[in-house]
Amino acid sequence: MAGAFIHEIRAYELLIEAGLGVAEWAVVRDAADIESLPFAAGTPVVLKGTALDVWHKSDLGLVAFEDFDIDTIAQHHERMKSVASAHGAYVGTLVARRVDFKRLAGQPTEALVALRKTPEAWWTIVLGIGGILTNAWGEEIRPLLWPVALTTPMEAFSDFRTHWLGKTWLGDLRQGKALTDEARLTAFFEGLWRLVSLLEREGAALLEMNPVVLDEEGRPIALDGVGTIEPQGEVAKTHAFDPVKVQEILLRPKTLALAGISNKPGNPGRIILDNMLLGGMERSGIIPIKPGATEIDGLPCLNGVEDLREKPVDILMISLPAPVAVETIEQLCSQGGGAEIVYLFSGGIGDGADKSGYGTRVQSFLAARRAANLWTPLIIGPNGLGFLTSDKKLNTLFIPDAKLPARLPGGPLALVSQSGAFLVSRLSALPYLPMRYACSIGNQMDLRLSGFLRALGSDPRIKVIATYVEGFAPGDLMNFAMTAKELTARGQRVVLYKGGRSQAGMAAASSHTGALAGDWELQRALLVRAGVIVCESLADFDAVMCWLASFPEGKPLKTAVITNAGFESVASADLVEGNLEAVRLTDDQTKEVTALIEKHGLAGLVSAHMPLDLTPMASEAPYLESVEIIARGEADSIVVGLVPLTQRLATQDAQKMDEFAKALLEIAQKTRTRIGVVVDAGSDYDACRISMMKAGLPLFNTVERALTGLKKI
C-alpha cells in the first residue's frame, strides 16, 4: 500500500513483539471495550485518539490526561472519534498508564529514536534528544546514527555511552545520578535491532518514537510511535564481474583501440592519441579506428569496430558524438566481442544534455543482454575525461600534454573521480604523488564506484584508494560501503570526498519524520562505520592523500612538530588534541636535544621541549639530528616545518634540498615513522617543494593542513 500509515496502536504492537517496553495499555474501539479496560479507578492515564494519517494528535486535541474513570473515558472516546474522523479513518482510542518517568532538573532526559530505511543505506537507527524541543536540542547535541547493516547492538551501546544522553542516563556526568543501568540499556538496543527485522517484514520505511523515556524502574519505554509503509522500489542490481581480471585490464592493458580521431586541431580523439604515443605503451598495442584511413602517425588503422571481432582489445575508447557512440556500443555487442571494457568519453548519454533517451537505451540494452547471458562488455563513463596508469606510463586524458604533462610515478595510491576536472586538478597540483592509477569515471552508467573499489582493491600493491563522488548510482552506496569494509579489514585504506552535499536533504528534515539527520549524514554514518576516511573539505582530502600515499599503514596516535618558526610551534600546540596526542621528550631525549642545541650554537635560543622551535638560526643539520632523535622515540608521526626565508637553510638550492629530503626519507624508512614537510611561503620556494615531493615525502603549505590530515587518518 503506497504511503500507508503506521498508527500508534500498530506501533505499540510491533514494539511488544520486538521485546521493547511500553506502558500498560489497551484500545477502545466501541463502548463495550471500556468496561474491560485493565485500570483501577483513579489510575493516571493518557488517552490518544488514533486515526490514519494523523501524526500530530495533540494539535487536534486528541491527547488527554485523566485519572481513570469509565464515564470520562467514554466521553473522550466519542469526542476524539468525532474530531479525528474528519482527518482520517478512526482506528481507536489508546488508553495507557501515565508514566512518571525519570527526570533531572534543567537537563533533557527524553530520547527520540527513529528507524529509517532508505534505498541508499538500508536501515539506519537515529537516536537523539527527544521531547517537544527535539529540533532545538538537535542543533546543539547531534544525534547518533547507526547503519544497521554495519553496526551491532553492542557497538551502538558503546557509542551511546559517550553521547550526552547516554552519560545522563548512566550518571556519568559530573555529580550525576544513574537513572538506569547497562543491563536495561543493552536489552533496549537488542530490541531495536529486532524491531528493524519486524519493520522490514511490514514493508515499512520509518518508525519514530518520540519520546522514549526511562520509567520508574529505569526501563526505556516509548510513549509515542508512528511511521510509514512505503514501497522502496527495486534496487538496481549490479552485474557480477571478475575483479582480478578487471584490475589487470585497468592497470596493465595490453591493447587499446580508439574511435573518434580527427585531424582537426583540438579534437579530443587526436589529443588522446597524442598522449598515448608519449607514454610507454608499445605502439603495436595502440589501435586507431578511423573509417577510410589506413594509418595514423605510422599506426595501422581499423575501419570500424567490426574489425575488433577478429582482433579484440582490452579497452575500446570511444570519443564520438552520442548517437554514434550508442550505435558503436550496440554494434560491438551484436557482433559478440571486440573489447573487454569500453571507455566512453562521449557526453550526452544519460546526462542533462541527453534529450533523446540514449542513456536509458544503453542501460536497457546492456541489462537485456546480461539477463540473456549474452556477451557484454563493461562500460566506463559516459562523460569520462580519461585514465592513467603508471605500469605502462599510459595517459589517455584529452588534456594536451603541454597543459598537463601527466605521468604517474607509481606507488600505493589510486585515485578514482567522478569528475574529470577534479582528477586533472589533483594531478596538476600534486604531480609527484606516488600514484599507480587514476581514472575519471564519469556518470557511472555501468561500472560504478563500488566496482572500481572491488577491482582496484584486488591488487595488493594498491594500499590506498581515494575517491571523489558527486552522487552514488542507485543502490551503490551500500555496495561501496560493504566493499570498503572488506578492504579496510585487509589493511587497505579508502578515502572519500563527496561533492554536492547541499542542504537540500537537510531542508526536508522535521521533528516528526525521523529526519533528525539529513541524507548526507545518513550516508556519512554508513561510510564511516565501514571504515572509510570521509573528508569534509577538499583540503583535508588532499592532506589525507598526501600522508597515506607515502605512509599507507597504521594510524597516527602520537605526533611531534619540529619547526624554525614560532608561529608554527604555537599553532601546532592548538591543533594537536583528542585522538592525536602531542609527544613529550623523555629525559634521555631532552639530554640529546640539549646536546645538539649546544653543538650547533643554538644555546639560549632554543629550548629542549616539544613542539621543538629551532628558530631561524637553525641549518639543515640540527633539523636532521633532532628529527632522528624524536623518531627513535614514541612518535609515530613528525611534521617538519620549514619556513624557508631564513639564510641558514639552503631552500633555493635544489641540490641541497634534494639531499635534505633524501636524508629525511631515510630517517622515516629506518625508524618507520611518518615524516611530512611544511613549506609555508610563496612561489619563490617551489624548488624546495619539488625536492620534498620528488623524494616521496608528504608536502603541505601550512602546519594546519599537515596536522588536520593526520587527525583525519
pLDDT in tens, 311-360: 999 999 999 999 999 999 999 999 999 999 999 999 888 888 888 899 99
Backbone dihedral region of 214: left (phi > 0), alpha (psi from -120 to 50 degrees) or beta? beta
Residue 136: the pLDDT is 54
Residue 132: the pLDDT is 63
Residue 134: the pLDDT is 58
Residue 102 cell numbers, joined:
525519570
**576, HSE (Cβ side, Cα atoms, 13 Å):** 25
Q: Domains (ranges, CATH) in the chain?
A: 24-97 (3.30.1490.20), 111-229 (3.30.470.20), 243-548 (3.40.50.261), 554-712 (3.40.50.261)
- Cα–Cα distance, 420 to 425 (Å, whole number): 9
Residue 516: the pLDDT is 44
Residue 312 cell numbers, joined:
579484440
- pLDDT category at 176 given cuts 50, 70, 90 is confident
Do 415 and 481 form a contact (C-beta atoms < 8 A)?
no
Question: Angle formed by the axes of helices 182-202 and 8-17, to 10°?
Answer: 120
Residue 511: the pLDDT is 33
- Cα–Cα distance, 191 to 208 (Å, whole number): 15
The neighbouring-strand residues paired with 44 are 67
- Cα–Cα distance, 135 to 516 (Å, whole number): 8
End-to-end CA gap in the chain: 46
Please report where in the chains the cell 588536520 appears, as a residue.
708
Task: Give buried/exposed letters for 424-448 (b at 16+ CB in 10 A, else e).
Answer: bebbeebbbbbbbbbbbbbbbbbbb
- pLDDT category at 515 given cuts 50, 70, 90 is very low
Residue 566: the pLDDT is 87
- Cα–Cα distance, 200 to 195 (Å, whole number): 9
Residue 60 cell numbers, joined:
487536534
Mean pLDDT of 297-310: 93
Residue 283 cell numbers, joined:
605502439
- Cα–Cα distance, 421 to 649 (Å, whole number): 37
Q: Hey, is 230 helix, strand or coil?
A: coil
- pLDDT category at 105 given cuts 50, 70, 90 is confident
Please report where in the chains the cell 564506484 appears, as a residue.
449
Sign of CA dihedral 522, 527, 531, 533: negative
Residue 140: the pLDDT is 64
- Cα–Cα distance, 234 to 218 (Å, whole number): 42
pTM for the whole structure: 0.88
- Cα–Cα distance, 434 to 408 (Å, whole number): 7
- Cα–Cα distance, 711 to 704 (Å, whole number): 10
Mean pLDDT of 1-20: 86
Sign of CA dihedral 567, 611, 433, 686: positive
Mean pLDDT of the chain: 90
Do 314 and 249 form a contact (C-beta atoms < 8 A)?
yes
Q: In this structure, are strands 637-641 and 558-563 parallel, antiparallel, or unpaired? A: parallel
Task: Classify burial at 487, counting beta carbons within 10 Å of its beta carbon; exposed 0-12, middle 13-18, buried 19 or more.
Answer: buried
Residue 1: the pLDDT is 40
Residue 508 clears pLDDT 50, i.e. is over it: no
- Cα–Cα distance, 422 to 289 (Å, whole number): 29
Residue 501 clears pLDDT 80, i.e. is over it: no
**418, HSE (Cβ side, Cα atoms, 13 Å):** 19
- Cα–Cα distance, 555 to 106 (Å, whole number): 40
Residue 47: the pLDDT is 95
Weakest mean pLDDT among 67-81, 360-374, 577-591: 577-591
Residue 133: the pLDDT is 60
Backbone dihedral region of 26: left (phi > 0), alpha (psi from -120 to 50 degrees) or beta? beta
Residue 505 clears pLDDT 50, i.e. is over it: no
- Quote the percentage of the chain above a pLDDT of 70: 95
Backbone dihedral region of 195: left (phi > 0), alpha (psi from -120 to 50 degrees) or beta? alpha
Residue 503 clears pLDDT 60, i.e. is over it: no
pLDDT in tens, 458-474: 999 999 999 999 988 88
Neighbours of 232 (CB within 10 A): 12
661 phi and psi angles, rounded to 5 deg: -65, -40
Q: What is the Cα 162 distance to its own chain's centre? A: 22
pLDDT in tens, 223-273: 999 999 987 666 556 778 999 999 999 999 999 999 999 877 778 999 999
